[in-house]
Amino acid sequence: MLEQHEIALSVKNLNVYYGGFHALDNISLEIPARQITAIIGPSGCGKSTFLRCFNRMNDLVPTARVEGTALFYGQNIYDPKINPVEVRRHIGMVFQKPNPFPKSIYENVAYGARINGYKGDMDELVERSLRAAALWDEVKDNLKKSALALSGGQQQRLCIARAIAVEPQVILMDEPASALDPIATLKIEELMQELKKFYTIVIVTHNMQQAARVSDYTAMMMLSKEGSRAGTVIEFGPTSQIFTKPKDKRTEDYVTGRFG
């Protein structure tokens, strides 16, 4: 089934250490382009750490060390010649808690484009990005207003607009709806279905219903072995298969709510 899709991201033998602590244990996985891939699993199994490997946000942790390869359309993003700053423009991120800049709505969207030297019409880009994030109609008369005056759900869609304004190929989402109410969550989920036409989306979620609703593929993460604190992907496949006929007993226990 994976073969039908182009591969956007591919990790091989990925290990992450924080100082002496082994956080991710030997993950190999291929993430299809323009699909939604959900990463699920119990708390503390390294879902966010795994997600942050794709845009090298783990580099910000001084003691973090990443081993193995992570290919982005064939290019290893951990190649010493590659600067993480460049990676992050192509692989955007939306965080758990909406974190707009304490600036105007317009400035939030325009910022990334400006620092990356966008040469086109900025007003047009801001409008296009806000439309793509399904926020334009709500804010078009208030672009100069502070982004902090928006509701939580609007702020999160603004963060999505901000991420797509730099025209990335991949958007990483770290529990993007966990701080939102059900209606705002629904809007984000609907938005994701629109976005996947153009972008590869990888979403970490605690909410299994959400994973089942929105994703095409699901990666199930779990601590790699008894007594270990290192997480790994124990099963990966089409979402329908993970939720209806998982191969691994642990996945079955988790998705049926027997633990976790």
Partner 1 sequence: MNGLFANENGRFAPRLSLRLRFGRVFQFLSLAAVTLGLIMLSVLLIDIILDGYKWLRPEFFTEFPSRFPEKSGLRSALQGSLWMISLTALMAFPVGVGAAIYLEEYASDNWFTRLIEINIANLAGVPSIIYGLLGLGLFVRGLELGRSVLAGSMTMALLVLPIIIVSGREAIRAVPQSVRHASLALGATQWQTIQNHVLPYAMPGILTGTILAMSRAIGETAPLITIGALTYIRFDLKGPLDLFTVLPIQIFNWVSLPKAEFQQLAAAGIIVLLAVLLSLNALAIVLRNKLQIRW
Contacts with partner 1 by CB under 8 A lie at: 55, 57, 60, 62, 85-86, 88-89, 92-93, 95, 97, 99-102, 111-112, 115-116, 148, 159, 162-163, 166
Task: Identify any residues that bridge with 27 across adjacent strands, giving them in sequence order.
Answer: 14
- Minimum distance of partner 1 from residue 188's CB (angstroms): 17
- Minimum distance of partner 1 from residue 102's CB (angstroms): 4
Can you list the positions of beta strands (E) in the chain? Answer: 7-18, 21-32, 36-40, 64-72, 75-76, 91-94, 170-174, 200-204, 217-223, 231-238
- Minimum distance of partner 1 from residue 17's CB (angstroms): 17
Beta carbon nearer to partner 1, 25 or 174: 174
Beta carbon nearer to partner 1, 47 or 88: 88
Query: Which H or E element spans position 188?
Result: helix 182-195
Give the separation between CA 95 and CA 166, rounded to whole angstroms: 16
41, 221 contact by CB (below 8 A): yes
Interacting residues of 242 by C-beta distance below 8 A, sequence separation 6+: 218, 220, 235, 236, 251, 255
Interacting residues of 74 by C-beta distance below 8 A, sequence separation 6+: none
87, 118 contact by CB (below 8 A): no
Beta carbon nearer to partner 1, 29 or 57: 57
Beta carbon nearer to partner 1, 17 or 95: 95
Beta carbon nearer to partner 1, 117 or 227: 117
- Minimum distance of partner 1 from residue 190's CB (angstroms): 23
- Minimum distance of partner 1 from residue 6's CB (angstroms): 23
- Minimum distance of partner 1 from residue 89's CB (angstroms): 3
Tokens 């209806």 sit on residue: 244
Beta carbon nearer to partner 1, 91 or 234: 91
